Structure 1
């Protein structure tokens, strides 16, 4: 374990970072990418030409180097521990960043090599990969930069209805990018992506695109502390498309149900018991009106997802008994999304933790990691729970909790 005594007291932070990086066998581009920056930025830090004054960036560097104490980098005499919930950076963040911030005058793909239908198929395959891979962020992020570039360029060469269809696909690409980058890039990049998704949906001028943009944007609002705004966005969108549900496509009904599940979870996190279950009831009614086996391609709204959300609502309302009773009625195999299965297993771990059942919490968290390591690794609340279990477990559970923390990449001190 690295501590401050490994370095001379007068060694500058940049040199410390370089030595720590080299000890771990990490290249400069790899460490820089994990911090959401480029290799030139890191080179400037290591050579003392740039000061690392931003606390958030300092924490990212420490987390990437698997340090539990910031003073190992800063050289301070007083330890500065960092929390288990520290944000991880997506290794391919630089490629996504370059694609999003690319030139407005970049060349479009050659005529005839790309069409709306071809691009829509690629996006659908990327969403399928997101829901079926245990390592969804790593695998989908490898495709994301190319999808963003092509989707941004396509509408420029089209006119009329085809151009609007291209904007609808672009909106879906940004919604996918928002899912992939959540908790895993700098907030500025995340919000650029979220806003671009809203704008593309507006240009598509299609109820399905607009409601999808509301769902995605509301997720961003909720996860950054704007719960009331998130509820308002979801409710307004659901009300706007409700008159079009009769006779409308199943996916529009699916988005309507997903919006109500979004509002239900957000209300539950705010402690609004009645509103949470009111929105869930509407989502439940919507699920029963859809064909058996229906699953929305990217929100995965359907019968199983409605039932899974009931467990989450119980946990967020701090009624673990209710959550566990709801869980008895769910069948994990009916959910096609590996990511969503892992999330509900985390919810069961949270429920057991609320009941002070450490063994039960550790059991379900282990299952969540087995289902999808990256779902746990990149979700702050799950990381915090893993850290708490590692800190609080006693006796035979201690070694299991520490091993789990190591697998997830949570610093335990």
Structure 2
């Protein structure tokens, strides 16, 4: 192995500081940047990495893990007695059945496929159930196996070119629904398999709306994979926007909405990069797109709407680590009604991140309680929420520590 090869952080014995330096370098982040995000000096980061000062306390360790996108806390600390996966939730009991349906893809057909219109109605009901149910993963996980098998069968049995395109559009959207279920569960290979099949089916459908949805989810998968995949996320997003742009003047609301959702995704990725001007610029484009939609319109997949733009502003500010601005945006966004339970819970989590950034941990915990009330399965699978809760279980104030511990039990992070 070359002498300048990056060490493996799993190799023992490596001190905390060495592991932190390895992950920082793999992320492509300089000491001054990490120090600024932590509210520390570059010399402090250097001393921690060199082992000249003691390992930081748990709240700071959790913050470092979030910034460096270390998925399992044990990988950063080296302590295998605390294998806490910060960005992946627990495996859902229905994950195996969904995986089996995706992986099977049988070639022989022993029955006739349901009509595409029938599948469309079932799919629409599944999306509605996802938005309305607090236990949305359970509901969607129960519906998906038969929906996947029937949509695959319909795509194979379609007779005419028009029927094939219609069936592929439905199949693509079924894979999109599957990606919502699989996301943040411990099977990254399945997530990518679903995302790629969804994109292929969308392209086969030649349906702008299906292509937009598949691209929107693929871009998210790239971005969530870490800093090294941000360029891929941008490539998918921007290429799809170029494809959609000529069609927008006469496009129906669903295509206008998916274009707006993609514009926000470009801003989200820019915010993750720390590019404030580009992030807010894309958000403004998305806001203008939302204004072209009817006041009560709500996209059934992305939740894109006029009402969602306030929540999107909170996300941009939080990703840019603008504490005061994120709290101001949260106050404005709270006036809008978000219809989807999981999307409302996700917004509450983003608000909690804003309050945490602004030094208001008690308000952050209260906001996470609201997220749990809206959709328990959303907060259970969200890495940021898990990080805040774990951090506050170490708080000095007894009442805050108690509240955080109670929420940690609800999320399965601590034993009852």
- State the TM-score, normalizing by the size of structure 2: 0.77
Question: Residues 107, 322 of structure 1: CA spacing in aligned structure 2 closer, same or farther, 3 A cutoff?
Answer: same
1:355 to 345, 353, 358: 358
CA deviation vs aligned residue, 1:55-113 (integer Å, no higher than 9, x gap): xxxxxxxxxxxxx999xxxxxxx8621226253112111111111111432425436xx
CA deviation vs aligned residue, 1:320-374 (integer Å, no higher than 9, x gap): 2111212222246621111111111111111111122221111111111111111
Shift of 1:399: 1.1
Matched, 1:140 2:140: yes
Question: Residues 238, 388 of structure 1: CA spacing in aligned structure 2 closer, same or farther, 3 A cutoff?
Answer: same
**Mapped partners of 2:91, 2:131: distance in 1:** 20
Tell which deviates more after alignment, 194-203 or 227-236. Answer: 227-236
2:377 to 369, 374, 378: 374
**What pairs with 1:10-409 in structure 2 (closer than 5 Å)?**
80-83=81-84, 85=86, 87-107=89-109, 109-110=111-112, 114-158=114-158, 159-225=160-226, 226-331=229-334, 334-392=337-395, 394-409=397-412
Q: Secondary structure at the match of 1:90?
A: coil
**Mapped partners of 1:108, 1:206: distance in 2:** 29
Question: Residues 403, 84 of structure 1: CA spacing in aligned structure 2 closer, same or farther, 3 A cutoff?
Answer: farther
Q: Would the aligned equivalents of 1:84 and 1:383 in 2 still touch at CA under 8 Å? A: no
Gaps of 5+ in 2: 1-71
- Kindly report the root-mean-square deviation, in angstroms, between the aligned alpha carbons of the 2 structures: 2.0
**Mapped partners of 1:132, 1:108: distance in 2:** 35
CA deviation vs aligned residue, 1:126-156 (integer Å, no higher than 9, x gap): 1111111111111111111111000001022
Shift of 1:252: 0.6
Q: Secondary structure at the match of 1:392?
A: coil
Question: Residues 214, 149 of structure 1: CA spacing in aligned structure 2 closer, same or farther, 3 A cutoff?
Answer: same
Question: Residues 368, 69 of structure 1: CA spacing in aligned structure 2 closer, same or farther, 3 A cutoff?
Answer: closer
How many residues end up aligned between the 2 structures? 337
Q: Would the aligned equivalents of 1:369 and 1:376 in 2 still touch at CA under 8 Å? A: yes
Question: Residues 332, 340 of structure 1: CA spacing in aligned structure 2 closer, same or farther, 3 A cutoff?
Answer: farther
**Mapped partners of 1:106, 1:144: distance in 2:** 20
Q: Secondary structure at the match of 1:101?
A: helix
- 2:26 maps to none
Q: Would the aligned equivalents of 1:126 and 1:143 in 2 still touch at CA under 8 Å? A: yes
Q: Would the aligned equivalents of 2:307 and 2:336 in 1 still touch at CA under 8 Å? A: no
Shift of 1:232: 2.1
Gaps of 5+ in 1: 1-67, 71-77
**Mapped partners of 2:110, 2:281: distance in 1:** 47
**Mapped partners of 2:80, 2:157: distance in 1:** 57
